Amino acid sequence: MTELAAPFDISLPAVSRHLRVLERAKLIRRTIDGRVHHCSLEPRAFGEAERWLADRREFWEETLAALAEHVESEEK
């Protein structure tokens, strides 16, 4: 975890809290070997997250396109 925290200006306890959130979301897996915590990504979970985001992306792209069209028609 020290390695993960190094590039960031936050405390180790804060990093640990962030990692717990990612664990609960099943985006990472943590194994503990004595005092050393090893974290690894869970690729399947990222695929599910990507599909979820893709569904919402389509909705927002359509909604924003309709809004842009409406604004442009009001300007004319």
- Shared-domain flag, residues 15 and 50: no
Q: Which domain holds residue 3?
A: 1-41
What mean pLDDT comes out for the span 36-58?
Answer: 89
Q: How many secondary structure helices (H) and strands (E) does the chain include? A: 3, 2
Read off the pLDDT of each residue in 18-29 and give the average, rounded to a whole number: 93
Pair 48, 37 in one domain: no
Strand ranges, E, within 1-76: 28-33, 36-41
37 and 75 Cβ atoms separated by less than 8 Å: no
How far apart CA 56 and CA 64 sit, in angstroms, is 12
pTM: 0.59
Do 36 and 53 belong to one domain? Answer: no
Q: Taking all residues of the chain, what is their mean pLDDT, rounded to a whole number? A: 90
Tell me how many domains the chain contains.
2
In this predicted structure, what is the pLDDT of residue 36?
87
Residue 48: which residues within 8 A CB-CB, separation 6 or more? none
